[in-house]
Amino acid sequence: MIYRPVVSGKRFVEKSSNVERLQAEQSQAIATILELAGNVEAVLKDYAPNRMGMYEAPNGVVFSEVLELYGYILNRLDEPVPVLNAAVKDYLPVSRQRFSSKTGDFVLTTPNGVNHFGAILNIKEYVEGTYPGILNGLKYLDFEYVITHSFSPMGRQDALKALERTKGMMISSGDKAVSQIIEMDQAMDQLASGNFVLGEYHFTMAVYSTAQETLSQQVAATRAELSNAGFVSVKEDLAVTSAFYAQFPGNWKYRTRLANVSSLNFLGLSPLHNFATGKKQNNPWGDCVTTLQTTNGQPYFFNFHATHPAENSYGEKAIANTMVIGKSGTGKTALINFLLSQVQKLDPAPTIFFFDKDRGAEIFVRACGGNYLALENEEDIYRAVEAVLDTPMHLRNMTNFQKSLLNLGDDGLFIRMRKWTAGNSLGWVFDNPKDTVDLSRANIIGFDYTEIIDNPEVRAPVINYLLHRLEALIDGRRLIYVMDEFWKILDGKGGLKEFAKNKQKTIRKQNGLGIFATQSPEDALASDISAALIEQTATMILLPNPNASREDYVDGLKLTDAEYQVVVSLDERSRRFLVKQGHASAVCQLNLRGMDDALAVISASTDNIEIMHEVLAREAEEAGVRPDELTPDQWLPSFYENRKGSGKKPSPASPTSRPARSAAR
């Protein structure tokens, strides 16, 4: 934004002779531009604008952010630029610029000898009407470019004269476009009423390439995108030098191909649209969890917490509950486990409590050095397990409970309870001398509840116990609990349903967050607590779903029509997904092609789970320890060699070679 005070001829004389008047006018102009800048910042507050200025380095040298921007455009160098007691034009240029008026190409050679080849496109013919986002297609071009817009408002009388002159030229030339003449009259009426202003508009797009050979292809792609939007573009040749220097604010005399457009047209051509970028630093848990890539190649700094980009939110207890929705095969499990692996780099790393289904996270949890328990269905003893929860903590074990039962024969409860006591097949669940849900060794523990999730009688006592253990961890430490296919354990009455409903509202105050995952929102929305879950969700990750129901996604999940169209239109194999936080959303991608070892860990297949157990048994036998006592470094290399698709055929899986399930320590 540039402020140009109206200067009369008399004032011009006074400026050259009256220093006090000059200082007063300068102070008034500075006050005006500061007020205007404040107004712009207030309007754009939600988008975290950053006013460029000067800053002082630790050594006392003052640098200018504005000169750094100019230096990047001029030199193609992203480096600090000091404020010197000299004219900027004398020390800012450090690269060599060479322009060809014959071809329109130019090259910038940096001091270290790197060449940047470029060309500048301009608009020759404009589309009849504009709207905000008409040029958004340019944002998806996969090469570097610089777009320059400038708009110089005219005075109302000058603007009316310009429109009157254009109308007269159309009439005198015998132009038969009666509708355009009528529109001209309407425009003059709107202009006189103050509904918009008219101004001189200038547009250039400098396209850059690292090689001369690819520059022409990039120019062609840019022109095609402009053509798709309805514009006729032209490559600058004779005026390429002027067009280049017209990129700098205030260089009005170098602008080429000026067009008289309304402020509404300017709004449509330059709406300040961009991709959401997330928040890199100063999040409640510090730096961002990870950096994803948007569809146009820009970084997206992902966080579970949703806080204002311009605020320092470190240590703040902000809402961070996250919902991940994606069909089978779209990469939901891999994405969740990837994010959980990235969050472990934070200091301190959060504790992770994973309610898993189909053992999709087992390899990942064990590879992180965590504990993993596979809970199995046992309908006949659910009441006994439930009763244990009503006893004092120090007496809460299956061995003591079994001793209180009558031995009525081989098919009695006494016999059936035996497997749940210490030393028997399922004793690890509730009857350990020491609780195997031990987070002192690792910060992550997973529970696979696939075999009990569909049986409400069995899952209630087991899930209640797990919730009891989870509640003990909610003590102010950083905590993440993950619930895969969460809607299945929200069905009917039970501790988990109440936990999910109430804890979603309070977990942020306790420095934690919940991640809820499901394949389809339909079943989740059917729960009577779905509204509470969605209301307390800060982040939504929506993977492709061509068959997505508008009712579920728009009415249920509160997506906009544009966001819904993104979910429907994305290819299921694209590894792209929509990240939504508040009113901001971005299409990101997580393409781990070529990282097969990592994928085998974060997206476990049934074959690889069996192979992992074989490897654990073999490595444990060689080391003379139990499988649960192995560290990831002791078994992961062998797993990578034997995993499915590694090129080395693994030994056939057999039931006898698989170790008994037990809680990893």
Backbone angles phi, psi at 473, to 5 degrees: -85, -15
Assess whether pLDDT exceeds 50 at residue 379: no
pLDDT per residue as tens digits for the range 536-572: 899 999 999 999 999 999 999 999 999 999 999 999 9
What does the alpha-carbon distance between residue 602 and residue 616 come to, in Å, rounded to a whole number?
Answer: 17
Of 25-34, 216-225, 364-373, 482-491, the poorest mean pLDDT is in 482-491
pTM here is 0.79
Structure tokens at 228: 């798709």
Average pLDDT over residues 299-325: 93
pLDDT per residue as tens digits for the range 181-212: 777 777 888 888 888 898 999 999 999 999 99
pLDDT per residue as tens digits for the range 610-640: 999 999 999 999 999 988 888 999 999 999 9
3-class DSSP state of 202: strand
Q: How far is CA 36 from the centre of its chain?
A: 32
Assess whether pLDDT exceeds 50 at residue 462: yes
What does the alpha-carbon distance between residue 592 and residue 480 come to, in Å, rounded to a whole number?
Answer: 24
Backbone angles phi, psi at 50, to 5 degrees: -125, 115
Rg, Å, the chain Cα set = 33
The CA-based angle 583-588-594, given to 5 degrees, is: 165
What confidence tier does 402 reach under pLDDT thresholds 50, 70, 90?
Answer: low
Half-sphere exposure of residue 655, counting CA atoms within 13 Å on the CB side? 0
Taking alpha carbons only, the member of 320, 280, 281 closest to residue 301 is 280
Q: What pLDDT does residue 135 have?
A: 94
Assess whether pLDDT exceeds 90 at residue 494: no
Structure tokens at 68: 């750094």
Single-letter amino acid, residue 35: E
3-class DSSP state of 190: helix
Bridge-partner residues for 146, per DSSP?
Answer: 206
Q: What pLDDT does residue 190 have?
A: 81
Backbone angles phi, psi at 56, to 5 degrees: -110, 130
| Domains (range + CATH), the chain | 1-51 (no CATH), 59-269 (no CATH), 311-375+444-596 (3.40.50.300), 605-657 (no CATH)
Do the beta carbons of residue 465 and residue 373 sit within 8 Å? no
Of 169-173, 367-371, 438-442, 499-503, the poorest mean pLDDT is in 438-442
Which residues are CB-neighbours of 380 under 8 A, at least 6 positions away?
A: 413, 416
Q: What pLDDT does residue 464 have?
A: 76
What confidence tier does 524 reach under pLDDT thresholds 50, 70, 90?
Answer: confident
Between 470 and 494, whose confidence is greater? 470
Do the beta carbons of residue 347 and residue 341 sit within 8 Å? no
pLDDT per residue as tens digits for the range 325-359: 998 888 999 999 999 999 999 999 999 999 888 89
Taking alpha carbons only, the member of 505, 504, 464, 461 closest to residue 481 is 504
The CA-based angle 321-324-330, given to 5 degrees, is: 165
Assess whether pLDDT exceeds 80 at residue 527: no
Q: What pLDDT does residue 150 have?
A: 94
Do the beta carbons of residue 101 and residue 238 sit within 8 Å? yes
pLDDT per residue as tens digits for the range 99-134: 998 999 999 999 999 999 999 999 999 998 899 999
Taking alpha carbons only, the member of 32, 98, 88, 97 closest to residue 64 is 88
Assess whether pLDDT exceeds 50 at residue 32: yes
Which residues are CB-neighbours of 602 under 8 A, at least 6 positions away?
A: 333, 334, 337, 338, 341, 363, 364
Which strand (E) or helix (H) includes residue 516?
strand 512-518
What does the alpha-carbon distance between residue 291 and residue 89 come to, in Å, rounded to a whole number?
Answer: 38
Taking alpha carbons only, the member of 405, 489, 415 closest to residue 447 is 489
Q: What pLDDT does residue 10 have?
A: 46
% residues pLDDT > 70 (the chain) = 82
Taking alpha carbons only, the member of 429, 446, 479, 488 closest to residue 356 is 446
pLDDT per residue as tens digits for the range 213-267: 999 999 999 999 999 999 999 999 999 999 999 999 989 999 999 999 999 999 9
What does the alpha-carbon distance between residue 537 and residue 325 come to, in Å, rounded to a whole number?
Answer: 13
Burial of 405 (0-12, 13-18, 19+ CB in 10 A): middle
Distance (Å) of CA 384 to CA 377, 407, 417, 430, 457: 14, 15, 8, 11, 11
Which residues are CB-neighbours of 161 under 8 A, at least 6 positions away?
A: none
Q: What pLDDT does residue 62 have?
A: 96
Which strand (E) or helix (H) includes residue 216?
helix 212-228
Distance (Å) of CA 552 to CA 289, 520, 530, 559: 29, 9, 12, 9
What confidence tier does 659 reach under pLDDT thresholds 50, 70, 90?
Answer: very low
Backbone angles phi, psi at 206, to 5 degrees: -90, 120
